[in-house]
Structure 1
Amino acid sequence: MTTPSSMFGGDPGTATLARISTEFDAIARQMSTVSAEFAELRRIVAHPDDPGRDTAPVSQPAPHTPTPGLTPPMVATPPRAPGRPPGTPPQPWTPSRPPFFPPRQATTAPPPPPGAAVPTPMPRPPIMPPPTTPTFPPTTPTFPPAGPTPRVAAAARPAGPSMSERIGAAAERGLIGKILATAGVGVTLIGVALLLVLAAQAGILRPEFRVAGGAILAAALVAGGMWLRGRTDGRIGAIALTATGIAAGYLDVLAATRIYEWLPIVPGLGVAGLVAAGGLVLAHRWRSEHLGLLVVVPLIVLAPVLAGGLDTTLIAFMVVLCAASAWVQVGRDWIWLHTVRLAAPTIPLTLVGLVGLAGWNAPGSSDPVFAAAVAVVVVLGVGGALLSMSTTRHREVVAGLASATTIPALFAGSAMHLPGAVILQTSIALVLIGTVLIGSGFIGSGAATRVIPDSVAQIWSATALLLLFVAVLVTFDGTVAVAVLLGLATVTGLVARTWSTTSRVLLAGSSVIWAIGFAALLDAAPPYVLADADLIGRAANLEVVVASLFGASGALILAAGWARLTDERVSRAAHIAAGVVVVYALTAISVTAGVLVGGPDGFLAGHVLATTCWMALAGAALAYARRRGGAARTAAVTGGLVLVAAAIAKLFLFDLATLDGIFRVIVFIVTGLILLGLGAWYARALQDDPAKSRSATTV
């Protein structure tokens, strides 16, 4: 029997080389087939519209005919998977593609003849697994493309509407009609003015015909507006025609009053008011705030011309206009018309006060008409705000407008005599405070009677505080004003502590007033004056004592108020500032009172008392620390020890050099006894409370 080894001279290595050569031939044929398929695919991609080419035959590799006498290639055993321990039997392996050669058909050898010797098969060489070539990643470096990196194009925004489309949309909204109607109003009024004024100068018509023609034109325009109102889409035109007719009526009244002098000033203003009343009736019925503004605004501009300037007649007319037009707001939340109504009398009254403040001759400066007008306007503003508080959407704005009506009262001191001005300012402030107390439920049955929200209460409380502040400045001067300002700040701080609805506003306002008063106190009695007997002798008075008392109490009250409403850092800063103020105030009270009572000897006695007070404050701080814990205890102990150190420094640096005789002896003995008492008492207190003793050792 011929074996592969015998065919190649019996060399097993030659047989292996033959098998490898056969396998490489099969691989070459397979690669040729793949290349042909890629060429066909490239052709299909290059000519997708040529169907005839798709059916072209693809060359098939020639079937493999095994060489006689060669053993077909054996399927190589796959390499051991990474991570599999050696000795583990390999898992069944399925090739990912068909083998290059068809499987060898099993052939059955014919049985040997009887008696023939059976040849012994030669042992086959062991099949070695093909060497596995390790694969490495490509080592060729990659570089970014040269040139700037292309930027990604942003998404294109949709094109906006063109100009013609915008004009068309405006026309659909009625804007074009409003513009044309407004222009028509202006042109028509110019024509009426030419009829009444220029025609009179040229002598074209008699005055009676001019005024009558203006009245007829005004009535015709109003009638046309009423007729147009009943037609479809005639609202804009109706408002424009009616406003033009009312304005023409104003001009006609102006001509009859000022140009031809047929009507006195008061009847002329009355006729203009009747014209305005008719226009406001139409505005209320048509539910048009625009028409109401077109009725009231021209009248406000026209009234000074009719009255001939800023005088009591103009003020009275504006107040009557504000009161007579109040009914228009019933059932209507017209904030702009409400603003214009209140501004009509407020602006002239404020101008009167400013004119008097500038030193000019203010009309009606000593006349009670000013006070009555201011009071009526404030009542109209506050009353209107209260009536509309449950229906309006602009509560804060309405409350602010009511507060704005009190602006003329701030300048009352320049428009009228001083007592009357103070009474007016104080009365308005008390009315606001009472309104807030009752309306916010502070006085009454509580929340059931509450008709004023917190924001409105804060606005009116701040307004009342401002009026009282101005009243104090107008009434008092010098150190008396300082004492009253500090007293006002102290009382306001107490009110803020018990009244939570407006506490922040009142605390802020009282803090500002207290800061102004305390700055004035420092100017009247600075620290260096307290250390000089001659200077304090000239500056000492009872007002400084009272102001210092209010300054100290106000500082403590305000510090407690801010500590209740703010964080710990602000609270700590407020208490430190209050402690410094209290030390200064006690020193000023002691020295000033001593000078007032005993003269030069009182100055020495006052400083003895001041040093003693410092030590007493230190003891109070340490006693306060016993009842507290944490940061409050640490702050109190620190403050007490700092005050003790300051008292000892004052004792040796000032008292020892300034005091003489018995006063020096007294101050040292008293201070030493207080120190001994504090030390003994504090040590005993710590022994009584071991927990606090342990915490105090860390201080």
Structure 2
Amino acid sequence: MTSPRPHIVDPQLVARLSDEFTALGRQLGSVGQDLAALRTQLDAAARPQYAPPQYVPPRPQQMPRYTPPQYIPPQRPPAPQQTWTPQPRVAPRTPWWQRDGVISRLLAVAGAGVTLIGVVLLLVLAAQAGFFGPVARVAAGGALSAGLVVVGVYVFGRAGGRVGGIALVATGIAGAYLDVVAMTTVYEWVAAPLGLLIALVVCGGGIAIAAKWQAQTLALLTVSGVALLAPFVTGGITLTLIGFLIVMQISCYPVQLLRPWPFLHIARTVPVVFALLVAIAAQVVGDSDRNYSYWLLASSVVVAAFGLSTAISAVWRTATDYTASAMFGAAAVPLLLITALFERAPGAIIEGSFAAVLLVVAVLRMLPAHTRIAAVGVSVLALLQACVLATEVQTLPIALLVVAIGFVAVSGQVRSKFAYFLGLGFAVVGGLAYLGVASPEALSSPARAVDDLGSAVVIAGLLGIATVVLLGWQANRLALVARGSVETFVVLGGLCGLYAMTAATVAAGVAIGGTDGFTAGHCVSTIAWMVAATVLLLRGLKARTNVQVILVAGLSLTGAALAKLFLFDLATLDGLLRVAAFIAVGLLLLVAGTMYAKAFAEREQQASAGSLASAGR
């Protein structure tokens, strides 16, 4: 058996591997030097100032031995340098007179105004001076107006002729309208109804052109020109002028079914409202003519009715048309003031009927809130006037408190806080009116009480108590009173109800027995105070909520009753009434004290029984 042959190592292979490792070491060393140089360059680029280049030793040709590469940590890239960027220059604002169309519009409006003034001078002043004949003046005005319309239509169709065409047509239509006014009022060639019909056609034609051209400016120039210059043709504010302004108000509306033009809504409503207010004021200051007053009433009704109907139609299409609601409120003003020309009863009927119609509109939930608020606001004013006109000083609180009860009752049914506050407002006004009738002086003086207090004060007092109770109940249902304000609300309501009860009691005594009834009424009112205080104190024993409020109110009312008993009744009452008041108040105090003592004794017994039961366990 032969032994295994030993392995022989090739020396050439070893030499070759050694040379390759040596070359690899040189290569890695060269890469390390290059990375170091790159790091130096990056650091120099990141510095704000320039540093001289560092000396880099020459790369050695041969490395005596292998040197491992150094670890170079990663460096953040240099932050980008912020460069200043020039801001664009803001162009200078163009002066208003250099803007496109401003000068042309100003010149066109001025030209329209001057031309219309010339038409008025032709129709009125020329007649006063005797220039030309009536036929020539009217014919010349009509021919000029027609020519302006024709030229305006031609100019509008040309390049850049929109402004001029609108101004010319508006001047022509307004001139033709003034020509019709002159024929009806100055020369009386046509009857008023026929003249109004012709004016309706003329104005309607102009508004139709404005709708076709989509030019609200045309309609505004026409309406404004007529409104400003027509009084000079008619010689002031007359019924005929009011009729022509109503026709203009009506004829301008159809275009608003197609175009939402709020400024036209204002322009067609304000002139007729202003004319009616001036005519009503003139009638109030001067000698009132019954027939003239009736014509003004009819005109006010037409203006208000048309304003209401057009407002409803406008907001039905566009719920955000606030201008329509505002103009309805403006159109209703003459009808609110027309009652100054009539007696109390007719005025109350007018305002009451107007208020009833508007309250029906106010409850229509399909209308937007701003229209309903406008209807309610006008109806409140009309209703307040109806109450004042339909009553005397003694009965005015009754009417106001009845309205207050109605609003507050409705507020609970429809869950409307707005209706509640309307009722509260009427209640405050009614309370002030009641305080003026049943004043503290009247309640403290027998002579004043006999003169001022009566059955109306009794009824109003009872209505005042009912109003206070209803206000508190509905405020609780509608969650109008915060928890921290309950005490204040209860105290104020209690004081108002207490005063109303006292006044009603004293007034009832005066109505029954005169001066003797005055003292009897005060005796009964003192006893009533103490009864109410006793009820509150006993209620406080059983109540689970607002116990502190009830007890404070009961104790306060008890103190007030005792103060009245000793400070007023003791000096005013005499005989059996004084005795009855003291005995009744004393007995009620004993009842309240006994009930409280019993209640506290029962609570102590229950507490003792509970402690014994817990100790036995």
TM exceeds 0.5? Answer: yes
Letter matched to residue 436 of structure 1: A
Deviation per CA, 1:298-345, whole angstroms, max 9, x where unpaired?
222343334333333333333333233332221222222122223343
Q: Which runs of 5+ in 2 are unaligned?
A: 1-49, 56-85, 609-617
Do residues 556 (structure 1) and 466 (structure 2) align?
A: no
- Give the whole-Å Cα distance in 2 for the aligned partners of 1:353 and 1:195: 31
Query: Are the aligned partners of 2:230 and 2:241 in contact in 1 as well (CA < 8 Å)?
Result: yes
Residue identity over aligned pairs, in percent, reads 33
Gaps of 5+ in 1: 1-47, 49-53, 59-155, 441-450, 695-699
- Decide which structure has greater helix share: 2
Secondary structure of 2:317's partner? coil
Q: Which residue of 1 aligns with 2:569?
A: 655
Q: Which residue of 1 aligns with 2:554?
A: 640
Q: Which residue of 2 aligns with 1:311?
A: 238
Over residues 517-539 of structure 1, what are the superposed CA-to-partner deviations in whole Å (9 max), with x where a residue is unaligned? Answer: 32232232222432333332232
CA radius of gyration, larger in: 1
* Partner of residue 270, structure 2: 343
Q: How far is the alpha carbon of 1:223 from its aligned partner?
A: 1.8
8 Å Cα contact 1:687/1:693 also seen in 2: no
Per the alignment, do residues 220 and 316 of structure 1 end up closer, same or farther by CA in structure 2, a change over 3 Å counting? closer
Pick from 534, 538, 545 the counterpart of residue 458 of structure 2: 545
Find out whether 1:430 has 2:356 as its counterpart: yes
Within 5 A, what are the aligned runs for 1:232-631? 232-253=159-180, 256=183, 262-263=189-190, 267-357=194-284, 359-362=285-288, 367-392=293-318, 394-437=320-363, 439-440=364-365, 451-501=366-416, 503-504=417-418, 506-561=419-474, 564-568=479-483, 570-625=485-540, 628-629=543-544
Q: Give the secondary-structure state (helix, strand or coil) at the position aligned to 1:419.
A: helix
Change (3 A) 1:340 1:683: farther
Shift of 1:556: 3.4
The structure-2 alpha-carbon separation of the partners of 1:399 and 1:224, relative to structure 1 and needing over 3 Å to count, comes to same
CA contact (8 A) 1:593 1:606 kept: yes
**Secondary structure in 2 aligned to 1:332?**
coil
RMSD (Å), alpha carbons: 3.8
The answer to whether the Cα contact below 8 Å between 1:621 and 1:640 also exists between their aligned partners in 2 is yes
Match of 2:40 in 1: none
Structure 1 residues 288, 477: closer, same or farther in 2, change over 3 A? same
TM-score scaled to structure 2, two decimals? 0.76
In structure 2, relative to structure 1, the CA distance for the partners of 1:693 and 1:612 (3 Å cut) is: farther
Tell me the distance in 2 between the aligned counterparts of 1:205 and 1:625: 95
Letter in 1 for 2:407: T
Q: Render the CA deviation track for 1:668-693: whole Å, top value 9, x for unaligned.
A: 22222222222333455567779999
Q: For residue 606 of structure 1, what is the amino acid of its counterpart? A: G
Mapped partners of 2:218, 2:556: distance in 1: 71
DSSP-derived class of the 2:394 partner:
helix
Q: Is the 8 A contact 1:312 1:364 kept in 2?
A: no
Distance of aligned partners of 1:205 and 1:637 in 2 relative to their CA distance in 1, 3 Å threshold: same
Q: Deviations over 1:151-170 (max 9, x none)?
A: xxxxx9987644667655x1
Classify the secondary structure of the residue corresponding to 2:427. helix
Distance in structure 1 (CA, Å) of the matches to 2:122 and 2:249: 31
**Alpha-carbon spacing, 1:317–1:192, altered in 2? closer, same or farther (3 Å):** closer
Query: 1:214 maps to which residue?
Result: 141
Render the CA deviation track for 1:59-103: whole Å, top value 9, x for unaligned: xxxxxxxxxxxxxxxxxxxxxxxxxxxxxxxxxxxxxxxxxxxxx
Taking structure 1 as reference, are residues 212 and 367 closer, same or farther at Cα in structure 2, changes over 3 Å only?
closer
**Contact map agreement 2:178 2:233 (CA 8 A) in 1:** no
Change (3 A) 1:351 1:204: closer
Q: What amino acid does structure 2 have at the position aligned with 1:420?
A: P
| Alpha-carbon contact 1:269-1:303 (below 8 Å) kept | no
Number of aligned residue pairs: 532
* Cα distance in 2 for residues equivalent to 1:160 and 1:434: 58
Alpha-carbon separation, structure 2, partners of 1:231 and 1:692: 103
Asked if the contact 2:283–2:341 (Cα under 8 Å) also holds between the matched residues in 1, the reply is yes
| Counterpart AA for 1:316 | G
Output one character per residue of 1:239-279: Cα deviation in whole Å (capped at 9) or x when no partner: 11211222332454456556666556555554443321211
Q: 1:621 to 1:186 in 2, by over 3 A?
A: same
**1:180 is paired with a residue of what secondary structure?**
helix
